[in-house]
């Protein structure tokens, strides 16, 4: 498995100070390309199902990033779920 590091604190030290980051948690997964439509259809319900705190006012956006590489590698989708302290978040999908 590839090395994964949380560099949030180091990045915040390197950037001009504008207060603390409001990131509550970061989760990641690798799924099949055929599951991508389910993420796009209802991301808020999906993250709630896996235990991420969600409220009625929560806003969940999905950002798609196209990867380049061998066809075999592109069949797997990398999903990063960033949950903010206001119960909103973003799902970054690298396909």
The pTM of the full predicted model, rounded to 2 decimals, is 0.76
Torsion of CA 65, 16, 23, 46, to 10 degrees: -20
Q: What is the pLDDT along the chain (95 residues), one digit of tens a residue?
A: 667 777 777 877 776 665 555 888 889 999 998 999 999 999 999 999 999 999 999 999 999 998 887 766 667 889 999 999 889 999 999 98
Angle at 59 between CA 80 and CA 6, to 5 degrees: 30
């Amino acid at each position: 498995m590839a090395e994964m590091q949380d560099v949030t604190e180091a990045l915040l030290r390197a950037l001009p100070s504008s207060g603390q980051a409001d990131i509550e948690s970061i989760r990641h997964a690798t799924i099949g390309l055929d599951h991508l439509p389910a993420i796009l259809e209802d991301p808020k319900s999906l993250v709630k199902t896996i235990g991420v705190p969600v409220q009625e006012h929560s806003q969940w956006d999905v950002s798609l990033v196209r990867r380049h590489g061998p066809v075999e590698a592109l069949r797997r989708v990398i999903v990063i779920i960033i949950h903010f302290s206001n119960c909103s978040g973003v799902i970054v999908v690298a396909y």
